[in-house]
Amino acid sequence: MTSFLPNNTGWKGVPYALPHPRKTVHSIDDAMRRNRVLPPAQCRDNRAKLANLRHLIAAADREYREMSAELDRLNDIGRIWLVVELVHKTSLASLDLCAALMQASGLKAGDGARILADSTQTLSDGITGIGGLANGSVSAKEFARTAAQRAVTHYQPKTARAAFGKGNADLGLNTSASIDNIVNAQGTPAANARTAEAGVELVAGLIQRSADTLDAGTPGGHPTAKRVGAAAQIAKAISSYGRELDGAFNRRLETSGMLMASKANLQASLQRNMAKYRSKAAELEQLLEGCV
């Protein structure tokens, strides 16, 4: 009698054996990676980055508004100082013209008015020069030349030779200042205006030197020479006043232009940075959309 043999053979006589386990390891991390699901920690990091970017955008916008307001405030202050400077220059020119007119008219108070005008101008130049030398707006050469001009103005010659020497010194200092004004003029029209002013002041200086020399060389003074010298002083004062007004307006325009250029550069820089920040924020928002 036969019996059934144990069924211990597999298909086609191959001994039965359990299938080998797959080498691929299944895990939650692998599934999240394949399905582009961000882990919670990374989601938190991206949210923090996005929040920081939003804070940075808000801070940059706030700083721009504050700096823009500050530049506008400085521009408004510049307008105020322009008015102050115009009043200042006009007051000094008025004193100078008044003194010259009184001397040309032969009034006895003319000499006192001249002393007052010269003293006021010297005080103004001293304060302006020292302040400009401290902040760098006035060079040492300009300060020394202005100091020399004021010293020459206050010198009272007693002889014709001394008066002639004073006239030469005044002509030399004024010519040096005129050359600098022409060289530093911005544009041909301004250079032509400075050249015309230099010509007027040179002729007026020559006339004043001759009149002062004649007056000092005449015992008791020469009334006609005094009037001629005062008339020359009027011409110089008018020319100087026009130059000072042009200088005040030019400084105002230069300052205003610099402020507006700074504001434009600030705005352009902010726009570039804000575009970069917003682009980065948009990328983070897209990444966060995949977070669960």
Going residue by residue through the chain (292 aa), what tens digit of pLDDT does each one get?
444 444 444 444 445 444 454 454 444 455 556 655 555 566 667 777 778 778 778 877 888 888 888 888 888 888 888 888 888 888 888 888 888 888 888 777 888 888 888 888 888 888 888 888 888 878 888 889 988 988 988 888 889 899 899 989 999 998 888 888 888 887 788 888 888 888 888 898 899 899 889 888 888 888 888 888 888 888 888 888 888 888 888 888 888 888 888 888 888 888 888 888 888 888 888 777 766 5
Cα angle: 105, vertex 149, 132; to 5 degrees: 120
Ranges of H-type helices in 105-159 = 110-135, 140-154
Burial 151-174 (b: 16+ CB within 10 A, else e): ebbeeebeeeebbbbbbebbbebb
Q: What is the pLDDT of residue 169?
A: 92
Q: What is the pLDDT of residue 29?
A: 57
- Three-state secondary-structure class, residue 276: helix
Q: Which residues pair with 15 in a beta bridge?
A: 9
Q: What is the pLDDT of residue 271?
A: 83
Residue 46's Cβ-side half-sphere holds a number of Cα atoms within 13 Å equal to 18
